[in-house]
Amino acid sequence: MALLYAVAGKSHALNLTLDELETQLDPSRFMRVNRQYIVCAAAVEKLSTWFLGKMRIHVKGYPDESIIVSRDKSSLVKKWLDS
């Protein structure tokens, strides 16, 4: 089961795994940034550097949420957000 966090600050339980959900979403708008999160590009407030070459995604409406991107995936996330 996946949990969807909406921009309005509400969450919704989905009867899908992240793997299933990932196949149904538009890859130009959504990206699997780690094993726990799929992020919408429009929800990204900013990126910041993290420890050991990793990045932290700051999500609009969720200031206390830390979404950490691995060093290996950091360049892919930057490229995805720039496109």
Q: Residue 72 belongs to what domain range?
A: 2-82
Say which residues have a Cβ less than 8 Å from residue 71's Cβ, sequence separation at least 6: 52, 53, 54
Number of domains in the chain: 1
Query: What pTM value is reported for the model?
Result: 0.87
Say which residues have a Cβ less than 8 Å from residue 65's Cβ, sequence separation at least 6: 5, 59
Looking at residue 74, which CATH number applies to its domain? Answer: 2.30.29
Say which residues have a Cβ less than 8 Å from residue 70's Cβ, sequence separation at least 6: 34, 54
Residue-wise pLDDT for 36-57, tens only, equals 999 999 999 999 999 999 999 9
* Stronger pLDDT, 9 or 15, i.e. the higher one: 15
DSSP tally for the chain: helices H, then strands E = 2, 7
Is residue 56 within 8 A of residue 67, CB to CB? The reply is yes
